[in-house]
Amino acid sequence: MISIANEHIKVSFSKKGAELQSIKGIHSNTEFLWSGNADFWGKFSPVLFPIIGALKNDTYSFEDKTYQLPRHGFARDMDFDFEEINEHEVLFTLQHNEQTLKVYPFEFKLALRYKIHGSSVCCTYEVSNPGNKDLLFSVGGHPAFAAPLNKEGDYTDYYLQFNNDDELTYHHIVDNLISDQTSTIKLHNGKLCLKHELFYDDALVFKNLKSDSISLLNDKNYNGLDFNFKDFPYFGIWAAKDADFVCLEPWCGIADSVNHNQQLAQKEGINTLAPNGFWERTWQVTCF
């Protein structure tokens, strides 16, 4: 485990997947991330790259060749190189290699830069294209936050507060793919109460979320967090069945639709980066 800390929080990571694994309040001793209990879901905050969600039949085509990739891609299961920038900032990097090129025919450099300041953690995804052709990719986050915090209270004591939505229209998932079927949840003053049944049919996937900040709050005490994200066109909210966490997932990309033709260049939400290009997005969580 790799850790950085200040007087407010201590944050820990694994080199595997450059995965954030703990955000702990120094004074309150509160753990804000999910415990990683493998009986429900054994991850904490995986990076999703070079795809998000599932491909139709787990395959895609590019330049008349067919390739296979697992759900959410391969980066989350690979060991990243690590560099400590200073006592409050770390950088993890992953580059293409012989194995990645067999399933994803692009040269790339993916970096995850984590910074802490006050009681906030910033996660920045940085994508570079060292190749001589366009790089096609998706990237996104999957952090799981504990609910309840400190095991105080119940799941249903917690709610999500949206800063700019009064209703949520989400796409249903069918066999891991995005369908055209939608449902709408009416919010009361931007508030979505958590209950396990919300996620019994998989994640809630949003294509037109207006909010760029979501807070995890509760009715029992002051503890919670603010999750801020900008320029992520898609968003997912998910929890494993009956697990005491909620994932807040900002995405630049989305799973295949049920009707997708499996052409990577025509995939919804795919990002295109020119040779020698650079791309970045940041999300931030502030704990209290």
| Stretch 21-25: mean pLDDT | 98
Contact by Cβ (8 Å): 119, 49: no
pLDDT at 274 over 90: yes
Q: What is the pLDDT of residue 39?
A: 97
Burial state string for 29-58 with b = 16 or more CB within 10 A and e = fewer than 16 = ebbbbbbbeeebbebbbbbbbbbbbbbbee
Q: What is the pLDDT of residue 149?
A: 94
Q: Phi/psi of residue 275, each to 5°? A: -50, 135
Q: Phi/psi of residue 56, each to 5°? A: -65, 120
> What tokens does 42 get?
């054994």
What is d(CA 112, CA 156) in angstroms, rounded to the nearest whole number? 33
Residue range 162-189, pLDDT digits in tens: 999 999 999 999 999 999 999 999 999 9
Q: What is the pLDDT of residue 258?
A: 98
Mean pLDDT of the chain: 97
**What is the total residue count of the chain?**
288
What is d(CA 25, CA 42) in angstroms, rounded to the nearest whole number? 22
Identify the band that residue 125 occupies on the pLDDT scale cut at 50, 70 and 90: very high
Give 154's DSSP letter.
Answer: -
Contacts of 17 (CB under 8 A, 6+ apart): 46, 47, 75, 76, 77, 78, 80
Q: What is the pLDDT of residue 191?
A: 98
DSSP of 32-79? -B----TTT---SS--BBS--SPPGGGEEEETTEEEE--TTBSGGGSB
pTM given for the model: 0.97
pLDDT at 100 over 90: yes
Residue range 35-70, pLDDT digits in tens: 999 999 999 999 999 999 999 999 999 999 999 999
The answer, yes or no, to whether the previous bond of 105 is cis (omega within 30 of 0) is no
What is d(CA 127, CA 133) in angstroms, rounded to the nearest whole number? 14
| Stretch 227-255: mean pLDDT | 98
Range of the domain at 124: 2-287
Q: What is the pLDDT of residue 152?
A: 82
Identify the band that residue 17 occupies on the pLDDT scale cut at 50, 70 and 90: very high
Overall number of domains in the chain:
1
Give 208's DSSP letter.
Answer: S
Contacts of 98 (CB under 8 A, 6+ apart): none
Collapsing DSSP to helix, strand or coil, 205 comes out as strand
Identify the band that residue 151 occupies on the pLDDT scale cut at 50, 70 and 90: confident
Tell me, letter by letter, the H, E, C secondary structure of 89-150. Answer: EEEEEEECCHHHHHHCCCCCEEEEEEEEECCEEEEEEEEECCCCCCEEECEECCCEEECCHH
Q: Domain holding 217: CATH number?
A: 2.70.98.10
| Stretch 75-88: mean pLDDT | 97
Residue range 191-228, pLDDT digits in tens: 999 999 999 999 999 999 999 999 999 988 889 999 99
Q: What is the pLDDT of residue 150?
A: 87
